[in-house]
Structure 1
Amino acid sequence: MPCPDYTQSSSVRNRAVEDDGGGSVRTDDGVVSGYRAALDRLRAAQKPSAGTPLYSRLVNRPLGRRFAAFASVRGWTPNGVTFRSAACTFTAILLVALLPPTWWLGVIVSALLVLGYALDSADGQLARLRGGGSLQGEWLDHTVDAAKVLTIHVAILISAHRFFELPVAWLLVPIAYLVVDSLLFFGMMERDLLVRAVPGGTGAPPASTGILRAILILPSDYGLFCLVFLLLGLPLVFFAVYTVMLVCNAAFLVLALAKWYRQLGGIARG
């Protein structure tokens, strides 16, 4: 799972912001009137891409930025965007659990998950455009993410049990993936909260920005996970790719936990 947006651009955070109620965002240096102006402001306030996997960096953030600009023009709130993201994501998850796997179902599920992920990026970007988010919004975003992490693997487990011709032992794969994803999500959230609790802490420590690293951690990218559902019409192929991604994410989890442990130890000693 991608790291949620914690940091805000100081150029945006330090402005006084007022929603005029008509779909524009008023700041003390003018009015964001229209899609193009909102998009320009979002580009200026974009988070650094350090540590971001390739799909999230090249596809999801730019797509989310466009949705955030559209939401600004329409007068949507960040929480409203979060609810729209959740609606797309959990509709897809229900479809996986309830319907037999077919090629057209895979296309629909993948499209809904991609849309939900883009809107998940858009809510944080919209909050920064409006001058900063709220504790309620951050809590809501993380709660939806936690529910997504849990339920998407449960849906795959249900589908595999009902429709895949697999030995029963292979049903342990979605359970293991659920455990790995849950640990990654919790470990990342807890690490960031602890770093921010330290005086002068600002969130996650800097990570490498290299394109090679972005490629190497691609299997941990939720965006790639969304695209894997395009294979749902070939259940055994889908499950094989899903299993490979589990192995990659389990290896990533071991490395990440060791790295976060060292980082927190360094902060405590510093």
Structure 2
Amino acid sequence: MTSPLVKERYTDSLQRLQSAQKGSSGAPAYSRYINRRIGRYFAAAAFQLGMTPNQVTVVSALFTFAGIATIAFVHTTIWSAIAVMLLLVIGYALDSADGQLARLRGGGSPAGEWLDHVIDATKIATLHLAVFGNWLREPKGHFGLQGFALAYESVAFIAFFAIVLTDQLRRQQHVRTGIPTRGSRQTSALYSLAVVPTDYGLMCLAFVLLAWPAGFTVVYLAFFAANTLYLLLALPKWFRELVSLGELPDREVA
């Protein structure tokens, strides 16, 4: 392990990152093959600059929430749509970079994971609200469909909570037994392609269509339908998996 205080070349940081990637379990194609690679370049650059993972998380949030604010408050043009797409894509790549930087520096921290999850939750809670506000302000192409943005927010937030909680319970089981759970295993490239409609990164790219209201509406509703179907199929699957893990040890009450 290289100390963050020891200077190394950018290419050396990239090479170390290639062998320090987290598992691909459940990752859709864009997140797995494109976003992590872009994040790797950002992480290596951040390491060269002496940044901490939490600092990268904050920079990621600045880009993401600038994009969300543009959706909500800026009149939609082709240029604002391109700006939204770029801000969200960069923010998402930096969201991958903070974890990679933590591994490059020797490991993350509970506080860093907490900050990352809180910002992710806030992002999910506000992104579809921004779309709702945009559709209210500019109803052409999606008149009467604004409620779908609120429904999408509910689906996305439930999915985020369920994924995070399921992962935490898997970790507890792994610590207790030492046996890898299903969530810690690699998934195939075919699976990553099959779940690509649920990919947040792909949605970031889709926001370039904001300047074409009818086109964006069709794509957005397709994402909503795909994510709703995925959640309906995944929730019982995750529940059955957790049932099969058995009971967790009781915690002492302080």
Q: TM-score, normalised by structure 2?
A: 0.91
Q: Hey, what's the Cα distance between the residues in 2 that align with 1:62 and 1:95?
A: 26
The unaligned stretches of length 5 or more in structure 1 are 1-14, 21-25, 27-31
1:195 aligned partner: 170
1:259 aligned partner: 237
Deviates more, 1:250-259 or 1:188-197: 188-197
Q: TM-score, normalised by structure 1?
A: 0.86
Out of 243, 246, 251, the position equivalent to 1:268 is: 246
Q: Hey, what's the Cα distance between the residues in 2 that align with 1:50 and 1:193?
A: 14
Pair 1:224-2:224 in alignment: no
Q: Hey, what's the Cα distance between the residues in 2 that align with 1:208 and 1:246?
A: 26
Out of 47, 55, 62, the position equivalent to 1:87 is: 62
Q: Hey, what's the Cα distance between the residues in 2 that align with 1:208 and 1:65?
A: 19
For the Cα contact (< 8 Å) 2:206–2:219, is it kept in 1? yes
2:25 aligned partner: 50
Q: Hey, what's the Cα distance between the residues in 1 that align with 2:77 and 2:182?
A: 40
Which of the pair is proportionally richer in helix?
2
Pair 1:19-2:4 in alignment: yes
1:23 aligned partner: none
Q: Hey, what's the Cα distance between the residues in 2 that align with 1:137 and 1:210?
A: 29
Pair 1:126-2:104 in alignment: no
1:100 aligned partner: 75
Q: Hey, what's the Cα distance between the residues in 2 that align with 1:233 and 1:168?
A: 15
For the Cα contact (< 8 Å) 1:192–1:203, is it kept in 2? no
2:252 aligned partner: none
Out of 198, 221, 226, the position equivalent to 1:248 is: 226
Deviation at 1:195, TM superposition (A): 1.8
Q: Hey, what's the Cα distance between the residues in 2 that align with 1:237 and 1:76?
A: 40
For the Cα contact (< 8 Å) 1:53–1:214, is it kept in 2? yes
1:110 aligned partner: 85
Pair 1:33-2:12 in alignment: no
Out of 213, 218, 240, the position equivalent to 1:235 is: 213
- Partner of 2:137, secondary structure, is helix
Out of 161, 178, 185, the position equivalent to 2:136 is: 161
Deviation at 1:203, TM superposition (A): 7.1
Deviation at 1:209, TM superposition (A): 2.2
For the Cα contact (< 8 Å) 1:51–1:207, is it kept in 2? no
What whole-Å deviation, never above 9, does each CA across 1:118-138 have from its counterpart, x for those lacking one? Answer: 000000000001110111100
1:29 aligned partner: none
The unaligned stretches of length 5 or more in structure 2 are 249-254
How has the CA–CA distance of structure 1 residues 203 and 163 changed in structure 2, closer, same or farther, with 3 Å as cutoff? farther
Q: Hey, what's the Cα distance between the residues in 1 that align with 2:129 and 2:232?
A: 23
Deviation at 1:208, TM superposition (A): 5.9
- Partner of 2:177, secondary structure, is coil
* Shift >3 Å, 4+ stretches: 166-169, 200-204
2:189 aligned partner: 211
How has the CA–CA distance of structure 1 residues 101 and 203 changed in structure 2, closer, same or farther, with 3 Å as cutoff? farther
Q: Hey, what's the Cα distance between the residues in 1 that align with 2:42 and 2:121?
A: 22
